[in-house]
Structure 1
Amino acid sequence: KLNIITYLEENEISIKEVSKKFNIQPNQLRDWIHNKEMLIKASPNTFKLHNRCLPYCLQIEETLYHWITEQCQLQNPITQELVTVKAASLTQNTAFQNLL
């Protein structure tokens, strides 16, 4: 990403031309230019710069994680719907009610 931004700055050509050359969308390049400082500060192995949202309730997340790993060890199939139902049941649990 930084190499493409540098190419753009050094050659002084339009964003549209650079986008065509590197086969990316012009809007994507504009976003990279806008986030240039964050890209410079990020480690070279970072692929995404999005800010993740924090878990709604960390204890529920941890309990859900342990439940999922336990189900995997028992070789039970886990679907997204099953995880959603389990998460909903955890939020209804009285032990977690005071955390919400």
Structure 2
Amino acid sequence: MPDRIMFVQLKTGYDTDAGPSWIARVSFSKSWSTVSFHGRTLRRVTGTAYANHDANFVDVDSGEGYWISGPKRDQTDTRYRHGRPTIEEDARAAYEAFLRGGALPGRERG
């Protein structure tokens, strides 16, 4: 499974953009439809099933909604709040290099 450094935020149970968030290394399935994160399997959702939570992935076991996206260099990963995500140690060096203008691993060509 391809690994990527991504912005991940828990949406279920929190006000808009108030859930905990991480800059973390996640593993995508070959089809990019599922993600492995913190021992959880998250499945991509489409349509309006999780529109109330602004989620694009859902935990297959708990049903919790998550937002997963590529991190932004200007660190405005949340849309409405300005909280900082927890930067996980296995992603820290690559993320800090990205903030200085480098490419993220696996995204060297865009």
Bin the TM-score by the shorter chain: under 0.3
Structure number with higher strand proportion: 2
TM-score normalised to the size of structure 1?
0.23
TM-score normalised to the size of structure 2?
0.21
Structure number with higher helix proportion: 1
